[in-house]
Amino acid sequence: MSVILILILASLAVALAFLAGFIWAVKAGQFEDTTTPAMRILGEDEKVRTAAPGNVRAPGGGEQRAGDHAG
């Protein structure tokens, strides 16, 4: 019977720790802007993409990322 009491108290302690962590995250502003990170990739500037390291000119004049193989 004492084992059940210990497990109940341990599970309550873990639940309270997660609740405290969630409250801390809300107060710290972790959930303020949920749209911008998902939309950032859609508005990526073309110049930034082509100037990124690892981009090379393909023989046909088009761009190809290093490691990508056409065909």
Please write the tens of the pLDDT for every residue from 26-39: 999 988 887 787 78
Which residues lie closer than 8 Å to 66 by C-beta, 6 or more apart? 54, 55, 56
The whole-number pLDDT of residue 43 equals 77
The whole-number pLDDT of residue 40 equals 79
Assess contact for 16 and 8: CB atoms under 8 A. no
Whether pTM > 0.75 for this model: the answer is no
Which residue would you say has higher pLDDT here, 42 or 8?
8
Which residue would you say has higher pLDDT here, 38 or 1?
1
The whole-number pLDDT of residue 68 equals 57
Residue 14 backbone phi and psi in degrees, to 5:
-65, -40
Residue 55 has pLDDT above 80, yes or no: no
